[in-house]
């Protein structure tokens, strides 16, 4: 079997998994420690928070999305935590968009309006 110059080891029984970027053991990898800024999804910068329900890409599960927040990443994460607690469900923050599990549109709209956000329902 010929060995190519661009061939790289992905797993070694000695070291375990190897980082695809630097080639070091995943435990000693420096790539993950260098934080990369999250890519923001282009959203309208009109100051209106949009709350909508979607199933796209969620294997049929309903998720309520909160888009258009003009807050820092830390503030978005804190707001997401408060919204999840007020709805009593789980969720996540992905690319500056808050995803709350289930159809929580009404609860999120009222909660965001209490916090003085301009809110619109989006989607169907």
Task: Tell me the per-residue pLDDT of 68-100, one tens digit each, with 9 for 90 and over.
Answer: 988 889 999 999 999 999 999 999 999 889 999
Question: The domain spanning residue 75 has which CATH number?
Answer: 3.30.780.10
Whether residues 81 and 111 share a domain: the answer is yes
Residue 114: strand, helix, or coil: helix
Q: What is the DSSP string of 52-65?
A: EEE-TTTTT--EEE
Q: In sequence order, what E strands does the chain have? A: 11-12, 16-17, 48-54, 63-67, 91-94, 97-101, 118-122
Q: How far apart are CA 104 and CA 89, in angstroms?
A: 9
Whether residues 25 and 56 share a domain: the answer is no
pLDDT of residue 8: 64
Whether residues 57 and 113 share a domain: the answer is yes
In a domain, 89, yes or no: yes
Give the model's confidence band at 36: pLDDT under 50 very low, under 70 low, under 90 confident, else very high. Answer: low
Give the model's confidence band at 6: pLDDT under 50 very low, under 70 low, under 90 confident, else very high. Answer: low
pLDDT of residue 31: 74
In a domain, 76, yes or no: yes
Whether residues 75 and 109 share a domain: the answer is yes
Give the model's confidence band at 23: pLDDT under 50 very low, under 70 low, under 90 confident, else very high. Answer: confident
Whether residues 16 and 70 share a domain: the answer is no
The average confidence (pLDDT) of the chain is 80
Instruction: Find the domain containing 97 and state its range.
Output: 48-122
Residue 124 scores a pLDDT above 70: no
Q: How far apart are CA 110 and CA 94, in angstroms?
A: 22
Whether residues 15 and 69 share a domain: the answer is no
pLDDT of residue 38: 52
Whether residues 16 and 58 share a domain: the answer is no
User: In the chain, how many domains are there?
Assistant: 2
Greater model confidence, 23 or 100: 100
Whether residues 61 and 86 share a domain: the answer is yes
Lookup result for tokens 């969620």: 58
């Amino acid at each position: 079997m010929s060995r190519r110059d661009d061939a790289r080891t992905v797993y070694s029984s000695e070291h375990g998994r190897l980082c695809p970027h630097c080639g070091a053991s995943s435990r000693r990898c420096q790539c993950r420690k260098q934080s990369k800024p999250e890519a923001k999804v282009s959203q309208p910068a009109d100051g209106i928070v949009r709350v909508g329900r979607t199933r796209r890409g969620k294997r049929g599960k309903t998720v309520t999305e909160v888009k258009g927040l003009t807050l820092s990443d830390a503030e978005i994460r804190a707001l997401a935590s408060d919204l999840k607690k007020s709805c009593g469900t789980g969720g996540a923050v992905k690319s500056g968009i808050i995803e709350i599990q289930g159809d929580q549109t009404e609860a999120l709209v009222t909660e965001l309006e209490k916090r003085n956000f301009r809110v619109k329902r989006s989607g169907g």
